[in-house]
Amino acid sequence: MIDQKKIAEGFRLILEGLGENPGRPGLQETPRRVAELYAEILGGIHENPTEILRPIKGEDFDEMVALAGIPFHSMCEHHFLPFFGKGHIAYIPKEGRMTGLSSLARLLDIFARRPQIQERLTAEVADGIMEGLSPQGVMVVLEAEHLCLSMRGIKKPGVPVVTSAVRGIFRKNAKTRQEFLSLISMKNHG
């Protein structure tokens, strides 16, 4: 489990390292608040994401199922600054292996609520769907702004990082990939 006491102690040390006085009125409760924040936004560490992907009994569908524009946020593990954006997920179920639509968004949320890099997050979502549902194929596209690129380093706000993970039929069939990319484009420009 997440040890909020250790996080608060650690953040108090960060404040001291910055030359701040953690005992001053504006900062007295900050270590506790930061600990609660981290417990909330990084709580996916202790969740099993594939448990939420349960096939719906009696449903047989073998065409593309896509969710476009799922908002998400995560924490870059390199600088512990947020990155946030939209996720697009498509899969083609095998007979009897369709899941509820909200499960796909919840899967992204669980993986995103861990210290992450966007490339791994994209692959984990795709692999989680493959493992949990054994579909014909999966494609995941994430578009995100990284505050570590916006606030430090190259300081280029508003530049999205785009990653994709392609599995199964989406990898083998260019028409299937293009159909999903067209759906994303319609969502973003329609």
Residues placed in the known binding site for Zn(2+): 76, 79, 148
Q: Is 29 one of the annotated active-site residues of the chain?
A: no
**Contact between 170 and 141 (Cβ < 8 Å):** no
Residue of 4, 36, 47, 79 with catalytic role: 79
Single out the residue of 137, 148, 145, 132 nearest to residue 100, CA to CA: 132
Does 148 qualify as catalytic in the annotation?
A: yes
Is 78 an annotated catalytic residue?
yes
Beta-sheet strand order (sheet of 65-76): 115-116, 65-76, 82-92, 137-146, 161-168
| Contact present, 9 and 31 (Cβ < 8 Å) | yes
Which residue out of 77, 95, 119, 131 is catalytically annotated? Answer: 77
Query: Is residue 73 annotated as a catalytic residue, yes or no?
Result: no
Give whole-number Cα distances, 141 to 6, 62, 114, 137, 166, in Å: 36, 21, 18, 14, 9
Please pick, among 118, 124, 136, 143, the residue that the annotation labels catalytic.
118
Please indicate whether residue 76 is annotated as part of the active site.
yes
Supply the DSSP string of 82-142, one letter for each residue. EEEEEEEEEEEPPTT--B-HHHHHHHHHHHHSSEE-HHHHHHHHHHHHHHHH--SEEEEEE
**Residues facing residue 146 across a β-bridge:** 83
Active site residues: 76-79, 118, 146, 148
